[in-house]
Chains A and B, each alone.
Chain A
């Protein structure tokens, strides 16, 4: 047929009545876990259940930014390994994930922000992850058009530049991992909605789905914003607040923005995709919700922020806005745990808006965890019990709460 052999990326598989391992969620995390289970650990009897289609959730709705400029050493190490996987995976999967290593510039708008940057940069460089604190002039050299004058509501004091970061084609990651997982024997079932989880009281035994009962020995909940609802089927209450978070793109333009930039004070992050659109994301909705409704408010808010930071963007037009779910924990770090009160039950959730960049690395270690039953050392920080013990991970300086009272 075609010289590029246009075969199905992942072959449809018959739905079996029982799998050794069932993973709920056909996004980056679930597919990566299935991929590593099958490829690295030889566990090929794996099924990924997706209620809609692959990448329907956060995996296909994020702004594709990847980076490792986190706050605490534990997180930096984890995300740094994730950052290095894009290249490896592109090769392993033989699928171009289009990692654009353009670097990320986080803008600071106060002395306090610059101090936080100094701490972050010191931590990153200590751990061998490149980061650099920049003054406003250097920021404008990286991103021509940034307004570094006193005019903006929040004048730019400087930035934290993180060269190893960039953007990845998010859909390609989903499809590439699906291709890889299926090639190693995993079954992918789209349109299969989980409606209940069966246990014998001590261990999980299977899931009830829209396509019937599926037995399993091990179950991974990796359903992004919907993980709370799924964990609740077993009576497990997770300290996760799902909130709608919105993103939008402008009409395509020839390349002029060569780095990712972001600003906490303005609640904005933006990059120019390989297609030329400015993809930009906003802060989360102020209250907990599952709606994934886009709102007029954010479209306007985003324009206000972008035009204040970079006046030339006033000439650009927004083309599309959409929304997804951010599953927020109080400390902005995920829950990666297999100690949830039921044997064989594993959870990979609570990523907030870090879920895309962490997908492959989380899958790698969750696969190891699920295959061996031993928690990898790197996941020690991300246990559920830290919330019971009041030991937040410190990924954000102040605790995140999403009630209307805080």
Chain B
């Protein structure tokens, strides 16, 4: 990730230029790779694209719609031209991917060799494919549409993904950063901004997508103020990395002379290279990712940086010139040709023609000529006199014909550029030139992505002919060439100014006692100093040249129909298509974007955005200042899902007895945040359903006949205390909680405003001011907030403490439960001393446990709330004491069946959004006399009383099936003819409800069920039909009689035994 330059060792290899000072390729380190199986050689420092180009590859792939040959157009991933399959991974950007040894590279959207693609004939059919043609075709007759659709699907898409192949073991990492100032872009302005902010003692993170800092200075050798520009960039980078960042925070250095500072500051600037920013989001969250290089412990690393202020200095990219065949391999950006030569030491062409519209591209022409690349002619869309005279002179000096007022009208050549046609923009001048490289652009457009995603408002500027920010969000600052500046001094000054403003913003917020309140005189002082620095930076910036005029060229001269003049490369959107979109009523950029697919491909807004907006304004006859850009959507650079997903660590909770249960063969299931033992024995997901059913029956019968143990630790457990504790309980629970007495459990339920049951549990009074209560596992997480919300206006004095994780819970249940418990405690737990619904503190092997005598499963049972760290100890004591009885653990499914036999509901299983507390037969819990507590749900319960046509919970006695085509067994223990949970309840051929839970019970000897049915059929003794149809034509039908639960032990003798 460090800045490093491969000074070429020895001479240049074949096809390469003699390495200059800004070259990043190390010719002493060759890397072998393959393209379409052909062996090739690149060098350390190459990207895949530069290596392919140096090996003579000119056709990188085929376009989406017309299968036109496509070559290297940009070097920063601005279009899908150079998306390739690398080592089996589709859509890898060859332009930005570093070459590694042994890579296997393939072209995309190609049948056969990209040079002789079998679908190349499609290019002749553009007349058949106007914008939105697919909406007008293929649907008549409709029965043929699926065929066409299949064909369309096959033609669409580019990369090929093997869905079954598992990705390799690449390490993906994540970093969560915190900064005062985040700087997007490590060019001259970004570096100046980072330095300025650091001088105020602020922590700065700088993100640069390339592997080195310097932006477009990094490859420019032209001298500026006596110093080659790449050296200027290196100087700034050195100051950033070496911590030459002025004085300590409390004494910021004089703003204008940071270089003179003598005290090294702490390393408060963190520079991330190879780290494209994917978006600037709300509250100044900057995201991106770092592509790992040699020595990095990861392949890619997801970055999130929460910053107080953001400086966007993302620079510019080239605005494509729209002319016929502007997509031919051999047509490329000025920066691409220039950087191929300067950065990668690759000769971009042997005969080059330029058709450009700005001074930087002229400088490129001069520089390429100096590197020995023959430049045939330079056309400039600007009229004479608008150029830097020094550059005009330099061209003349080198004997390069310079044609101001001219632009490319057509690229010649079928598979790659063999020549071009230049025309005058006014008049009829025209000439054809032979060339193998046509460098074309319409000037520069700002990289507005980061600003746009941050929420900046952009408007067309008629001076620079670019979209410029007219309103920036809070704490976001723009700097550098994206603001239209071209003079390096101005760019650096604007960066410095943005850095100062960002610092002032951060410190100002602190001084104002705002969100990052560090407060105090110190920050006020720092803010004042920062303000002074800003003023100085402002004065400096104002004294330097402002934004230079841009070029408003819409398209090359002589565009005619523009059938092959591409506005969008990714989806083959042409000038003609824009016209067609407008003709069909899609004459605003946002609509045309959707209709014609402009800027929807991998390059997103980059190639298309500004051109589409300008062309559409022109077609509508609007002035250019009304041009509106389409919305830029993040991510600004496409991150792989693997990188975003990161290491994928699954976080869940385990009970204190997890290991114990696992060793006994528990099958675990996620239940909210917990992993819980569903049952013991094999997992039916892996085809062990018979064995599981058998084991499950044993678990159930062991509880009914003997004694079992359940780990119910996730049960919600709460302490509530304080003078108003009772008031809060009365508000939230539907029963009269004032009836709670020490040593007794009170059962109640909790409703929402609509009287739907949300939860039930036991409430125990410890003393007049303190209560203890349980909630279902699912509600444990939201109980605190539920209490707070429903008492928020009362000003009550109570405290609620969630002790769910403090205590584990062991449920000892079965007719032998008391005999087991007696063996491990000396306390009197006889039925008289500790009756049903009692609550006692007992000592189990020296451990004080709270013991609740409840009967959820319908047997004599004790719920032991044990401090978590003692759970295993107590469990072991119980298991040892119960060994003679054959004590066995049971799981959630057994508990589910046991409680259902008893007719006890589980919220969510037997309740839902259509039924109230009363509807499910629990209306007796409601303290209807209480009107002062304002019980949550009470008004709804009252309103629904006597309301006809509601669903009611009923019990079912299921008769044997009337027939089934299903082979597998039904509910536990029942034959194939039995319906399962979720079966429909039918009456007279109509759906009248559904089965919530149904099981065959070995204890009862018949299949019981609970169902929600319409009131009119909820009549005891009534007969209904149950029907399950898992798949069309696999009906399971049987009869059931409506009975009232509980099915098991209706008198409750076993609970009280």
Contact = CB atoms under 8 A, between A and B. Distances in A.
B584 interface: yes
B604 interface: yes
A274 B161 contact: no
Nearest to B88: A315
A314 B640 contact: yes
Interface stretch (A110-118, A223-231, A357-365): A110-118
Q: Tell me which of A3, A133, A276, A313 has the highest count of chain B C-beta atoms within 10 A of its own C-beta.
A: A276
Contact of B678 (A96, A99, A111, A311): A111
Given A110-B669, A250-B641, A126 B83 contact: no
B984 A96 contact: no
A183 interface: no
Interface string A361-402: 000000000000000000000000000011111101111010
A390 B130 CA distance: 54
A291 to B, nearest CB: 8
Contact of A252 (B156, B584, B755): B156
Interface stretch (A17-25, A317-325, A341-349): A317-325
Given A53-B588, A294-B633, A304-B646, A406 B752 contact: yes
Contacts of B164: 144-145, 312
Contacts of B580: 2, 6
A257 to B, nearest CB: 7
A401 B753 CA distance: 11
Contacts of B64: 252
A319 B156 CA distance: 16
Interface string A1-44: 11110111110000000000000000000000000000000000
Contact of A399 (B145, B590, B591, B913): B913
Interface string A322-340: 1000000011000000000
Interface in A252-269: 252-257, 265
B599 to A, nearest CB: 10
Contacts of A220: none
B590 A255 contact: no
B982 A117 contact: yes
Contact of A122 (B583, B912, B984): B984
Contacts of A320: 600, 604, 633-635
Interface string B859-899: 00000000000000000000000000000000001000000
B91 A316 contact: yes
Given A125-B1031, A296-B279, A296-B285, A314 B167 contact: yes
A241 interface: no
B644 A176 contact: no
Interface stretch (B243-251, B785-793, B1043-1051): B785-793
Interface string B763-798: 000000000000000000010011011100000000
Contact of A115 (B146, B788, B980): B980
Contacts of B165: 312
A293 B644 contact: no
Contacts of A2: 127, 130, 580
Interface in A51-110: 53-56, 60, 73, 87, 90-91, 94-101, 109-110
B984 A126 contact: yes
Interface in B273-327: 278-279, 281-282, 285, 287, 302, 304
B842 interface: no
A123 interface: yes
B159 interface: yes
A264 B906 CA distance: 21
Given A118-B981, A316-B640, A253 B90 contact: yes
B670 interface: yes
Interface in B892-914: 893, 908-909, 912-914
Given A126-B991, A133-B1031, A251 B604 contact: no
Given A115-B981, A118-B982, A314-B645, A254 B157 contact: yes
B345 to A, nearest CB: 29
B10 interface: no
Contacts, number: 336
B138 interface: yes
Contact of B584 (A6, A291, A390, A397): A6
Contacts of B139: 90-91, 94-97
Given A144-B163, A314-B641, A293 B282 contact: yes
Interface in B112-164: 127, 130, 133-140, 142, 145-146, 149, 152-154, 156-164
A357 B272 CA distance: 45
B461 interface: no
A287 interface: no
Interface in A122-158: 122-123, 125-126, 130-133, 136, 143-145, 150, 153-155, 157
Contacts of B166: 311-312
B754 A304 contact: no
Given A4-B136, A6-B584, A312 B161 contact: yes
A221 interface: no
A4 B287 contact: no
A101 B153 CA distance: 13
Contact of A317 (B304, B641, B786): B641
Nearest to B139: A96
Q: Tell me which of A60, A171, A308 has the highest count of chain B C-beta atoms within 10 A of its own C-beta.
A: A171
Given A276-B158, A389-B943, A308 B640 contact: no
A192 interface: no
Interface stretch (B420-428, B702-710, B850-858, B1022-1030): B1022-1030
B991 A308 contact: no
Contacts of A3: 127
A121 B215 CA distance: 59
B644 A122 contact: no
B601 A274 contact: no
B946 interface: no
A318 B670 contact: no
A317 B986 CA distance: 49
A30 B1043 CA distance: 49
B384 interface: no
Contacts of A1: 583
Contacts of B465: none
B131 to A, nearest CB: 8
Given A90-B142, A251-B91, A322-B633, A274 B785 contact: no
Nearest to A158: B685
A101 B150 CA distance: 11
A110 B583 CA distance: 53
A176 B90 CA distance: 35
B595 A175 contact: yes
B740 to A, nearest CB: 25
A90 B140 CA distance: 9
A252 B645 contact: no
Contacts of B154: 254-255
B912 A397 contact: yes
B983 A119 contact: yes
Nearest to B581: A6
A119 B135 contact: no
A96 B785 contact: no
Given A153-B650, A304-B648, A390-B943, 7 more contacts: A87-B142, A144-B163, A169-B135, A255-B154, A303-B641, A318-B638, A319-B638
Interface of A: 1-4, 6-10, 53-56, 60, 73, 87, 90-91, 94-101, 109-112, 115-123, 125-126, 130-133, 136, 143-145, 150, 153-155, 157, 169, 171-172, 175-176, 250-257, 265, 274-277, 291, 293-296, 299-300, 302-304, 306-308, 310-322, 330-331, 389-394, 396-399, 401, 403-406
21 contacts: A4-B137, A53-B588, A73-B991, A87-B142, A94-B139, A96-B145, A98-B149, A111-B678, A118-B980, A123-B984, A123-B991, A252-B157, A253-B160, A255-B156, A274-B156, A276-B157, A299-B278, A303-B645, A314-B641, A318-B644, A319-B604
- Per CB-CB distance, the 6 closest pairs between chain A and chain B, nearest first, are A276-B157, A145-B163, A314-B642, A118-B982, A119-B982, A303-B644
